[in-house]
């Protein structure tokens, strides 16, 4: 029996594929390679380049590989871009998932782990955020992810589709052995941007807002190691397999770091000068996002391993150094 990983060539998807292979799972990947990288997927893993909207291709994959579960990452995932191109987010994220669910049902496959986001909460009412707090997204990206959660819920009611939706906070870090890392083009995420400054690929990092109601005035986020996210997908699938139960879960460490603290940690790890300049707030950025992941720890039996921000930055830095052929930092 095989797990189909959609978006398996992306940042979180490729780390999850690596992790599943280490657990001895049989995996097949579908990715359109718009943002993902073919070289991020192990050679031994069957790979299809294509769209979720291609139902014929999906059917072929389900039947050829005896797919019995799906981990669904494939989506457009940039908050800023979604504000400029909302319809393409609806088309890609909702349209792609609809097509996937139809093919799953046709092939009697009823297990799916879905990649959701903290963006479903919008401006949080409580910190730390719990799963039953109000979900009021402030951008189309979060709206599409919330709409998909609801689509899954109704599909469960009607067809017995078992799903786990994982609401990630800020994914960070890289494979501790340096085989994979974060490689977006364009890069919009804080840690890789700061590391690119350390590598002289960029001149400076702009701090988006220093007038938030936080201790040092910059935004606070809950960073979670990408390998801990990979493990959570595995735990989620085990829950569906063993207990035939799903649910919605936050994934974070329950601890916040400000933008300035992240930049300082990068300075400490890289031992390089990193120029930062204060800039205006980025539209749609909440001041503080911190997860309560108690539910995931209890029900998914998930325990994050790399909870230290310095470890996350070190793993990311080692991967960046490897790309440039430089020596690595040990922890």
Catalytic residues: 141
Instruction: State the nearest-atom distance from the C-beta of 114 to ligand UFG, in Å.
Output: 14
Burial 180-206 (b: 16+ CB within 10 A, else e): bbbbbeeeeebbbbbbbbbbeebeebe
* Complex with ligand UFG: residue 138 or 238, whichever CB lies closer: 138
Cα–Cα distance for residue pair 280/45, rounded to 1 Å: 44
* Complex with ligand UFG: residue 110 or 292, whichever CB lies closer: 292
**Both tokens assigned to 151:** 């689509």
Instruction: State the nearest-atom distance from the C-beta of 7 to ligand UFG, in Å.
Output: 13
* Complex with ligand UFG: residue 219 or 227, whichever CB lies closer: 219
Instruction: State the nearest-atom distance from the C-beta of 192 to ligand UFG, in Å.
Output: 8
CB 111 within 8 A of CB 162: yes
**Both tokens assigned to 52:** 């979720």
**Both tokens assigned to 237:** 């699938």
Rounded to 5 degrees, what angle do the CA atoms 42, 319, 204 make?
135
Residue numbers at the binding site for ligand UFG (CB under 6 A): 77, 79, 117-119, 141, 170, 188-190, 193, 205-208, 219, 221, 259, 282, 285, 289
37: number of CA atoms within 13 Å, CB side?
Answer: 13
* Complex with ligand UFG: residue 78 or 105, whichever CB lies closer: 78
Place of tokens 């979180």: 12
Instruction: State the nearest-atom distance from the C-beta of 151 to ligand UFG, in Å.
Output: 19
Closest chain position to ligand UFG (CB): 219
CB 1 within 8 A of CB 218: no
């Amino acid at each position: 029996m095989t797990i189909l990983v959609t978006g398996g060539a992306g940042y979180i998807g490729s780390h999850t594929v690596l992790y599943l292979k280490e657990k001895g799972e049989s995996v097949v990947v579908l990715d359109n390679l718009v943002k993902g990288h073919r070289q991020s997927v192990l050679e031994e893993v069957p790979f299809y380049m294509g769209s979720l909207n291609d139902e014929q291709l999906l059917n072929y994959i389900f039947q050829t590989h005896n797919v019995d579960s799906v981990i669904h990452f494939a989506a457009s995932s940039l908050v800023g871009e979604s504000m400029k191109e909302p319809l393409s987010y609806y088309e890609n994220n909702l349209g792609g998932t609809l097509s996937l669910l139809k093919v799953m049902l046709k092939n009697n496959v009823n297990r799916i782990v879905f990649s959701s986001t903290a963006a479903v909460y919008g401006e949080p009412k409580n910190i730390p955020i719990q799963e039953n707090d109000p979900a009021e997204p402030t951008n189309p990206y979060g709206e599409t992810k919330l709409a998909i959660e609801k689509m899954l819920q109704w599909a469960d009611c009607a067809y017995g589709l078992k799903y786990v939706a994982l609401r990630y906070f800020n994914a960070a870090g890289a494979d501790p052995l340096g085989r994979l890392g974060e490689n977006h083009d364009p890069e919009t995420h804080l840690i890789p941007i700061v590391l690119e400054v350390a590598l002289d690929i960029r001149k400076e990092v702009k701090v988006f807002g220093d007038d938030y109601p936080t201790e040092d005035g910059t935004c606070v986020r809950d960073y979670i190691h990408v390998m801990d996210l990979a493990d959570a997908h595995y735990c989620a699938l085990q829950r569906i397999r063993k207990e035939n139960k799903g649910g919605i879960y936050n994934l974070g460490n329950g601890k916040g770091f400000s933008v300035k603290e992240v930049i300082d940690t990068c300075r400490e790890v890289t031992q390089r000068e990193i120029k930062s300049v204060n800039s205006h707030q980025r539209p749609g950025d909440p001041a503080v996002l911190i997860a309560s992941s108690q539910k995931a720890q209890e029900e998914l039996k998930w325990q994050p391993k790399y909870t230290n921000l310095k470890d996350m930055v070190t793993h990311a830095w080692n991967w960046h150094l490897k790309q440039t052929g430089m020596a690595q930092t040990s922890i």
